């Protein structure tokens, strides 16, 4: 008996194929992955090679025309100082003998900032490359409340503030100045003005950020009290309320007060003799 003929076998379908829509989606996804990987790779290389470069469009650091040097003051003497490696103030009347410090070549910002008591400070936000070194230097001076010289390289002292608080933000502030003095100092740090005629002020110290700035920290050692004194057009200010002691003044949110800048300085005892009354050294 003849065998029944077997039906013809179906053609081998071969490996599964994606639809055209799926293929287009896969191709687009692959291109996006390559592009994203390329961007991230470029950013990583740029940030590694130039760590100060801003990420994705941020403001780049501003290179100073003349570097500034921050150094602890070991001793001050009346000029001249023959045989001494000293930095001099603008008037050439005082020699500053300095210890090792930190030289800064670029900044994010330098600006004059009005304090709540009517006085002004100069806020210096250094470039990221110098921040940690400066933080370490400032913090080392806090316990002894030492002076830090702000030196226009090579040897011109612009200011010699007393450090009363550590630097915990992106900047430091030199406080206890009039508006004119603060603006002049800010301009000199940036390298755009002639030397002022007055010697550097031994104001309250370098510290971090100000409420009006973009910094992350509170003002450190700027001597910016929470007083209600107001500034007039002539640069004078209404004194703060007077208290029986520095302890009472600081408890009420006032002080510290700098000799030669705040008349309140004469009201209180400058226990540590550093030219600043009602700071932490006077409350021990």
Over residues 104-125, mean pLDDT: 89
CA-to-CA dists, residue 249 to 143, 145, 178, 226, 254, angstroms: 22, 20, 23, 11, 5
Q: Which residue has the higher pLDDT, 220 or 271?
A: 271
Secondary structure class of 78 (helix, strand, coil): strand
Report the alpha-carbon distance of residue 94 to residue 2 in Å, rounded: 126
pLDDT score of 69: 93
pLDDT score of 39: 44
pLDDT digit string (tens) for 32-84? 554 444 544 434 343 334 444 444 445 688 899 899 999 999 998 888 888 88
pTM score over 0.85: no
Secondary structure class of 14 (helix, strand, coil): coil
**Helix residue ranges per DSSP H, the chain:** 20-49, 128-142, 179-190, 246-251
Q: What is the mean pLDDT of the chain?
A: 71
pLDDT digit string (tens) for 251-270? 777 777 777 667 888 898 88
State the pLDDT confidence band at 153, using cuts at 50, 70 and 90: confident
Q: Are 239 and 208 in contact (CB under 8 A)?
A: no
């Amino acid at each position: 008996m003849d065998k029944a003929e077997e039906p013809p076998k179906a053609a081998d379908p071969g490996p599964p194929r994606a639809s055209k829509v799926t293929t287009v989606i896969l191709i687009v996804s692959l291109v996006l992955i390559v592009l994203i990987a390329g961007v991230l790779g470029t950013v990583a290389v740029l940030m590694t090679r130039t760590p100060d470069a801003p990420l994705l469009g941020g403001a780049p650091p501003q290179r100073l025309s003349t570097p500034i040097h921050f150094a602890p003051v070991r001793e001050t003497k009346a000029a001249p100082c023959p045989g001494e490696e000293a930095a001099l103030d603008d008037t050439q009347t005082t020699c500053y003998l300095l210890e090792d410090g930190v030289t800064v070549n670029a900044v994010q910002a330098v600006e004059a900032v009005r304090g709540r008591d009517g006085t002004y400070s100069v806020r210096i936000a250094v470039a990221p490359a110098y921040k940690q070194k400066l933080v370490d230097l400032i913090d080392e001076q806090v316990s002894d409340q030492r002076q830090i010289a702000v030196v226009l390289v090579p040897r011109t002292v612009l200011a010699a503030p007393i450090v009363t608080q550590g630097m915990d933000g992106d900047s430091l502030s030199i406080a206890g100045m009039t508006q004119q003095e603060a603006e002049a100092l800010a301009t000199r740090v940036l390298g755009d003005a002639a030397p002022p005629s007055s010697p550097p002020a031994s104001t309250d110290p370098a510290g971090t950020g100000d409420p009006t700035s973009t910094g992350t920290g509170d003002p450190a050692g700027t001597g910016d009290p929470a007083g209600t004194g107001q500034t007039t057009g002539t640069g004078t200010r209404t004194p703060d309320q007077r208290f029986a002691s520095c302890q009472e003044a600081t408890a009420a949110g006032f002080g510290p007060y700098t000799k030669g800048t705040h008349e309140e300085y004469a009201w209180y005892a400058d226990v540590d003799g550093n030219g600043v009354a009602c700071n932490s050294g006077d409350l021990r």
